[in-house]
Homo-oligomer: A and B are copies of this chain.
Amino acid sequence: YELIQEDDGHMPVLVSMSQIAGRMSATIAGQLLMNSGGGQGILLNGLPGVSPAAVVILGAGTLGANAARSFCGAGAQVTVIDVDLRRLQYLDELFNSCINTMLLNEHNLKRAVAFADVLVGAVHLPGRRAPVLVSRDMVRRMKRGAIIIDFSIDSGGCVETSRPTTLRDQTFVREGVIHHCVPNMTAMVARTASYALSNAALPYLLAVGEHRLPGALQLQPALGPGVAVFEGKLANPNIAAALGRPVEFDFSGEVAV
């Protein structure tokens, strides 16, 4: 599902899942910051006379923007870092002075990681491994009991010390920092995710239901990238490349092999 993609690059299912993950992030972080979550026992929101938690979000895409919105709503102090200045300008316009934005470079990154109570990894390069932006050394210089939530774990993680955890055992501590690296986090809100999935995918599913593949692809070409295997043949070029195998079925030019 997540690979369905429209002509202009819009990936409807992936966008919905990223919205969900982003909006979960303040809850996850707030819970981990509590003593019972293993954290420093601080309140995400802050209080008159007590500063809120400092949140640093790596990535200003759909996931990062939704995370920013959710942390802003909680009253946290939010910094968003990305390599794309135009995207930062858009977030600045949208959130006005509720967030602080920084261009991604080594100096900014080191500084921001060091003051973060919560570090959110929201880097996503479609179809590729996430870049490892935060080194073990940077993690070592974080505050004791700080939190890393690495949503990029789905594509390998953007923090050197990240490794996948499970829904049952969600966190581990390394270098004094609590890591939360659960792949496919949207499963934690399964009902909301299934509504969102059907909302996003329905137009495409209807096309498949009525016309069956590959006919449906002519009505909804966005389906093409979402078909990984068709009649036992590899149909997705990125996956094929990753496996070192040829594309065996090509939807893009009608119905060829």
A residues in contact (CB < 8 Å) with B: 10, 12, 15-16, 19-20, 23-24, 26-28, 30-31, 33-36, 40-52, 69-70, 72-75, 77, 85-86, 88-89, 91-94, 96-98, 100-103, 105, 167, 170, 187-193, 195-196, 199-200, 202
Given known A20-B47, A47-B20, A195-B49, contact A75–B97 (CB-CB < 8 A): yes
Q: Would you give 9 A-B contacts (Cβ < 8 Å), ordered by A?
A: A26-B30, A27-B31, A46-B97, A48-B88, A48-B101, A52-B100, A73-B75, A85-B200, A103-B202
Residue of B nearest to A12 (CB): B85
Complex Cα distance A26/B31, Å?
Answer: 10
Q: Contact check: which of B41, B73, B77, B105 meets A192 at CB < 8 Å?
A: B41
Given known A24-B43, A89-B15, contact A98–B97 (CB-CB < 8 A): yes
Q: In the complex the two chains form, is A199's CB within 8 Å of B75's CB?
A: no
Q: Contact check: which of B33, B42, B70, B193 meets A45 at CB < 8 Å?
A: B70
Complex Cα distance A6/B94, Å?
Answer: 23
Q: In the complex the two chains form, is A189's CB within 8 Å of B102's CB?
A: no
Complex Cα distance A192/B91, Å?
Answer: 19
